[in-house]
Amino acid sequence: MTSTPLPTTPGRLFVFGLGYSALALAELLRPLGWAVAGTTRGPDKAAALRARGIEPFLFDRGRPLDNPGKALAGTTALLATVPPDGQGDPVLDEHGADIAGLSDLTWAGYLSTTGVYGDTGGAWVDETSPLNPVGERGRRRVEAERGWLDLLNRHGTPVHLFRLPGIYGPGRSAIDNLRSGTARRIDKPGQVFSRIHVEDIAATLAASIARPDPGAAYNVCDDAPAPSPDVIAHAAALLGVEPPPLQPFDPAALSPMAASFYAENKRVRNDRIKRELGVVLRYPTYREGLAAQLAAGG
C-alpha cells in the first residue's frame, strides 16, 4: 500500500507545546533517527517527556526558555502548537527573535484551526477561502497566523500553517467518551464537523518536513465531514452498546467551548495535502479510525 512520504535525512525537532499531536509526530520521527526536544509547563510533564527520550524544557508566557540559544541550537524543524491568548501568541512574543535567528532551520510549522474560516452554513472551504472567524478564539488564530507569516516575510523563516478541525485518536475519541459516560448526541439538523486522526496529523507534518514550501497553508482533515451524533452512534455500535439519546441543541446547556464549535458549520477540503505533500490518509473517515482503535484494544 502506498504511504505518506517521510523525511529521509534525520534532524532535530523542537516543539513549543509538546502535547497530544506533537507527541505523535515525535514518535514518528524518532525511529528515523531524529532528536526531539520540546516544551511543557510543569516539572511532572517534563519528567514524562524525558522518560520517552525527549529533551524537555519549561516554557509559558512570562516564563521564557532559560537559555534559548542553547535550547534551540541545532534545530532543523520547529513546531508551535501553543494557542494564542488574550495578549497574542506566547511563542512569538517570548521567542520570535530567537526563532528568526536559527541558521539551521529548514522548516517551521504552526498548528492553527479550521475555525479561521468561520461559519459557511455547511458549504465547503479550502485553503483559498476567506478567513472570517466567528468568535474571539478564531480571531486570535487569524492574528497568530499573520504573526508567524510575518517571520517568513521579514526574516525568511520557513513557516507553514496547518489548520486542524476536531482531533481524535487513542484516549480522545467517541469510544473513550462512551466508556467514560461523557458522550452526548446533540441534535442540530444540518450541522457537520470535520475531524482528523492524530496519526494522520503526524504523517502530514512529516510529509511537509520532507517537502518544504514556506508560506503554504494546509487543511489537515479526513475525507468525511459528518454530524457528531452519527460518529457517536457508530462508536456505540462498535462497542455493542446503546448510543445516548439525541438531545435538542441548546447553547445554554453547553460549555462555552462546545457552544463555539456548534456556532460554525462547514465542510473542509483536504485536496492540497494529498496533491502537494503526497499524503495518504491512514484513516480517511472516522469509521476506519474508530475500528482501528478498538482492534488495538484502545
Whether 255 and 137 have beta carbons less than 8 Å apart is answered as no
**227-272: per-residue pLDDT in tens?**
999 999 999 999 999 999 999 999 888 888 888 889 999 999 999 9
Asked if residue 250 belongs to a domain, the reply is: no
pLDDT tens-digit readout, 22-71: 999 999 999 999 999 999 999 999 999 999 999 999 999 999 999 999 99
Query: Is there a domain that residue 66 lies in?
Result: yes
Within 10 Å of residue 121's Cβ, how many Cβ atoms? 8
Is residue 234 one of the residues assigned to a domain? no
Mean pLDDT of the chain: 96
- Has residue 152 been placed in a domain? yes
- Domain hosting 111: range is 12-168+196-223+267-284
Residue 214 lies in a domain: yes
CA dist 258 and 273 (Å) reads: 28
Task: For residue 112, tell me if it sits in a domain.
Answer: yes
Number of domains in the chain: 1
pLDDT of residue 4: 93
Inside any domain, residue 262: no
**Average pLDDT, integer, range 161-176:** 97
CATH number of the domain bearing residue 122: 3.40.50.720
Query: Is 78 inside a domain boundary?
Result: yes
